[in-house]
A and B are shown apart, each in its own frame.
Chain A
Amino acid sequence: MAANEKGDRGGPRIGVFTCHCGVNISQTVDVEACRDFAAQCPNVVVSQDYKFMCSNTGQELIQRAIEEHSLDRVVVAACSPLMHEPTFRSACEKAGLNRFLFQMANIREQCAWVHDDRQMASAKARALINAAIRRVALQEPLQPYETKINPATLIIGGGIAGIQAALELAEANQPVYLVEREPTIGGKMAVFDKTFPTLDCAACILTPKMVSVSHRESIRLRTMHEVEEVAGHMGNYRVRLRRRQRYVDVDRCTGCGQCISHCPATRIPSSREIIRDGRVMTEVTRDPASGRKVARSFDPTMLHPDASSRSGPEDYSSGVVSDEEISKDLQKFEQPRRGGPSPMQRYLRLVRAQSKMSEEQVERRRTGDCTGCGFCAEICDGLVGATAIRMASIGKDERGKDQMRPFLVSLDACIGCGACATVCPTGFLTIRDRADDKGRIRDFALGNHSAIYLPFPQAVPKVPVIDAESCIHLQLGEGCGVCHNVCEPEAIRFGQQEEIEEIEVGQILVATGYQLFDASSIPQYGHGRLDNVISSLEFEAMLNSTGPTGGHVRMKNGEEPRAIAIIHCVGSRDDNHHRYCSRVCCMCGLKFAHLVKDRTSAEVYQLYIDMRAFGKGYEEFYSRVLEEGVNIIRGKAAEVVEQRFGDMSEGILHVRCEDTLIGKFRDIPVDMVILCNALEPDADTERLGNILGVSRSPDGFFLERHPKLDPVGTVSDGIYLAGACQGPKDIPDTVAQAQAAAARILSTITKGSVMLDPIKATIAHESCSGCRICNSLCPYSAISYDPEESVSTVNVTLCKGCGTCVAACPSGAITGAGFRDDQILAELEGILV
């Protein structure tokens, strides 16, 4: 211990405490030399070292020294201030010293741990200590601001993490805003059929929670909402939410589903085609530049024989269908009065009247051939109002009757709504998602396919949503309106606009989850190019009983696959894509293997790099799946190649890989390949991070405050993380983190108020000349100008203490408490001399 009698001349009395941190610091930095160096620095009256300064004993040592030596300033040379500054500040406070008369020298993270040369590192440590001593001498007591905590919490993301946290907070009767950008909560878990390793039915464990969310009074559910702006600070955030249009009034809708069963349009995102008799009649895509729908057709035989030389809706009359008949049609499909049968209902009745069809028509219907009924043309004309299809004769049958077939009369008129396909009783006309063609199942294809739809049957809120791109009325600005007409509670709102809502909350939980890595960026696997190469979430949708195949494992052609390969680490543990392990895919792949075995007689091949079964019950599940006869091949798949023979409707997929356990190349022929795609940060992560002031790790996921000691917090006080938005996670870990975050939030709410750092800017009016340089700089508009006095003023409640104005002030009138110019310059001098 080195002490001397300085500071008697009225100068500050500084104590310097240097930490060995076990051997963490002392193995690279000569701590004793640092202690002796500090002892002879100006104003230092005591300089001590200790093994673990942050321990209780270490803190007591500091407190004792403060009392014994009447210290009025303390320097601790140890780890980063981001680590233990609060610890030591509190220790000072306990000994009666203002917590801001304290300074840390970071000789661990930014010195001992990053340097090898003991001499250089020790010299740097001394410089850092010297800087802290000079700085602390100029520090002044500051008083933290107390701020009340608004008990309301904003939870961003309504997946399992957000739901769990919301329920925990609601259990304590605290208000929650649960914001979800999709029409329903549930997130990715809602797509799953079973969960590993227990094979619980995902819906069975998730649905009750979702329903519970809708029943809790303290949870204000905001689906189809996105966070647009966040202002304020811990305890008092002001948040702007933007609501996208659902076109259905959530409060009025009873969830009866009448609208869905009557909707004639088919929901397909962006790019679709109408197929007539197996060939493309029109292809409708969205022009990315104008945002408008563009219809194209390449097949002149699809065009109406009489319309081929004409174009536009005025070409209404044709020799085949007389004007009189058309006007009769129009009358037939005139919009009914409220309460009467809708045009759609009338169509359905007509379809039911198919029993009156002739023998030949019945046969045609069975084979998918056109019966010439003309429903397609009628609905296109009468209900949709597009008049894109009309019937024309392709010749007489044996009885001398015209054989009528639908033809395209106007390319411009077709909006690809699919109403014609909906009413077609035979399947002669169908609508198809162009992107659906190869492998991909867009939108995970749960729920029904009408333009007004419920994302899946258990959706919460159980309120349908209209897909504006597919809705006839919203596309044309008129026409159809079937849903509106059948809706008893009058909940349809075609005129709905985006809306902004401002809410006030005290804390924010980010639970925005992940998105799936796009496997088409690994072209050798053929996702999006080869039929029957599908992603993990697409396969989850297929396994789901409400999914496109009703839970059956099927190839594109509807047949059951004979062999399936499951490829692990698609985009994970890959230097070209994501270096991290996505953590869930091994178990997910095993789950798929089990379910395939369970539901089909297919052979299953797992291609893995390392099998990571780390969780509770996971290794046991792995053993179980092995026993079920799944082929486990250690090796990364090199490529998937399709081979076709003759008229095979589906090619055979060859998966090529090196089996590293037997040291041989293998070529495994399968019918279907399931890719275990990496989990990656949601595309909105960067934008949201900027809004919230939360950083991201190199992998792009949100960065926690500390990987071990604070995996729930962020650097922004009052903002927390839960679930896969912080990194790939399985459901148990996600739920655990959500509960942890809820506990953190509740503890702050219970405390009622928090102390905020008084690092704020102030303007000395006696020096301010009102040049107004600072006025436009403040990102929080905390600086206002008083033209009467010709001075600017900082509103301390808005100021966040960044110091931009302090640096800019050309007259030196602005002072930044805690980071004053003279303090920083003293540190600079200490570091350099």
Chain B
Amino acid sequence: MAEKPKLAMYWAAACGGCEISILDIEEHLLDVDAAFDLAFFPCIADFKTKDVEAMPDKSITVCLFNGAIRNSENEYMAKLMRQKSVVLVAYGSCAAEGCIPGLANFYDKKSIFDFAYKESPSTVNPEGKVPVPRTQMPEGEIEIPEFWDTVKTLNQVVDVDYYIPGCPPQSDQAWAVIETVVDILQNGKELPPAGTVLGAGNKTCCDECPRERKEKKIKKFVRPYEIIPDPDTCLMEQGLVCCGPATRDGCGAKCVKAGIPCRGCYGVPAGVSDQGAKMVAALASVIDSEDPEEIERIIDGIVDPAGTFYRFSLAASTLRRVQLESLRPAAAASQEK
């Protein structure tokens, strides 16, 4: 019997939801098991990094890598998985575009540490200790991963072959992708071109949204708790900030069907490079005012525009993060002095 292809799934800065989405394929897990040998899957079986390190390069056929690159360990693992895998897939929004961990790019290491270890109300840390990579203890030196200022996406540290978007990817889409991969492997078919987005459509969330859409003119933005949206009308037309028009389809429009505006987890649509900028372009276009003051008032209704438009894609966006304090001109100028 020929050796089965090897499958790996690793989590970097992630919540674990991506693993759950794989487990949610239910009985198809048996098919996965039939088609692959699990080479590395820390969530469901006990593997050690050193096991992977010991594998020959490119010995893993497919690695589903989820989670963003938050620290030195994430980056090391990304590079390791790249080295050992034939096909590296950015699985889920975190690996593909930074996702919720990527929102940390609105801050930097210092401000995150200050809040998490010193300033948050539930913290008691009179000595003001924060994690450092190396600590001398009586028992010897302890090393923990180094925390970066900036959360990166997988493709910002290694080459990525394919992307499966979603937070998490829908299980049916995940299964469909696996099925395709199995078909390709078993029948010697050609792989799709590198960079292809799998398990998603080529349109936007609106394509799957059953709500009726009209010409849009927005006089006022509202937040979801402020209204009970009409069940049949486009949410954006009701003043809700719905990222659906600037989000790739494939999720089945589950949120909007439930009356919650699309949050944008399936990422930028094909042909768009920056989800936030496109949301600005689209949303601002349909604001129904020509008076600068009124426009300002209407825009005031969008709470945290950057956080809303870049909720999932900040780390992958054109500007990637808030300008670092150390690089701001004032700081730069004072350094020169």
Contacts and interface: CB of A to CB of B under 8 A. Distances in A.
A807 interface: yes
Contacts of B269: 767, 810-812
A775 B271 contact: no
Given A773-B245, A810-B281, A768 B217 contact: no
Contacts of A770: 206-207, 213
Given A767-B202, A810-B279, A811-B204, A772 B216 contact: yes
Given A804-B285, A811-B272, A775 B205 contact: no
Contacts of B217: 776
B215 interface: yes
Interface in A249-294: none
Nearest to A807: B281
B270 A810 contact: no
A790 B207 contact: yes
B270 to A, nearest CB: 7
Interface in B206-247: 206-207, 213-217, 234, 236, 244-246
A773 B285 contact: yes
Given A767-B271, A771-B204, A809 B216 contact: no
B19 interface: no
B278 interface: yes
A769 B206 contact: yes
B271 A771 contact: no
Interface of B: 202-207, 213-217, 234, 236, 244-246, 249, 269-272, 278-279, 281-282, 285-286
B252 to A, nearest CB: 14
14 contacts: A767-B203, A769-B206, A770-B213, A771-B244, A773-B285, A776-B215, A776-B286, A808-B285, A810-B278, A811-B206, A811-B245, A812-B270, A812-B271, A812-B272
A488 B285 CA distance: 60
B202 A766 contact: yes
Given A770-B207, A771-B244, A813 B286 contact: no
A821 to B, nearest CB: 8
Contact of B282 (A766, A790, A810): A810
A810 B242 CA distance: 12
A743 interface: no
A804 B286 CA distance: 11
Q: Enumerate the 4 nearest inter-chain pairs by beta-carbon distance, A residue then B residue, closest first.
A: A812-B271, A769-B207, A810-B246, A769-B206
Interface magnitude class on chain A: 20 to 34
Contacts of A808: 281-282, 285-286
A321 interface: no
A616 B272 CA distance: 64
Contacts of A807: 281, 285
A786 to B, nearest CB: 12
A691 interface: no
Contacts of B207: 769-770, 790
A777 interface: yes
Contacts, number: 78
Given A767-B203, A810-B246, A811-B203, A772 B271 contact: no
Contact of B216 (A776, A790, A812, A813): A776
Contact of B213 (A768, A771, A813): A771
B204 A810 contact: yes
A793 to B, nearest CB: 14
Given A769-B203, A769-B207, A769-B249, 17 more contacts: A766-B202, A770-B206, A771-B282, A772-B213, A773-B245, A773-B282, A776-B215, A790-B207, A809-B281, A809-B282, A810-B204, A810-B246, A811-B203, A811-B206, A811-B271, A812-B278, A813-B271
Nearest to A814: B271
B253 to A, nearest CB: 10
Contacts of B205: 769
B144 to A, nearest CB: 40
B245 A769 contact: yes
Contacts of A767: 202-203, 269-271
Nearest to A768: B203
Nearest to A775: B215
A226 B204 CA distance: 47
B213 A811 contact: no
Interface string A6-31: 00000000000000000000000000
A813 B206 CA distance: 13
Contacts of A771: 204, 206, 213, 236, 244-245, 282
A772 B270 contact: no
A777 B216 CA distance: 9
Contacts of B279: 810
Nearest to B205: A769
Nearest to B282: A810
A768 B206 CA distance: 9
A810 B286 CA distance: 12
A771 B211 CA distance: 10
B236 to A, nearest CB: 8
A771 B281 CA distance: 14
A596 to B, nearest CB: 53
Contacts of B272: 810-812
B288 to A, nearest CB: 9
B204 A777 contact: no
Contacts of A809: 281-282
B135 to A, nearest CB: 44
A14 to B, nearest CB: 25
B97 to A, nearest CB: 16
Interface string A748-785: 00000000000000000011111111111100000000
Contacts of B244: 771
A809 B271 CA distance: 10
A674 to B, nearest CB: 45
B325 to A, nearest CB: 24
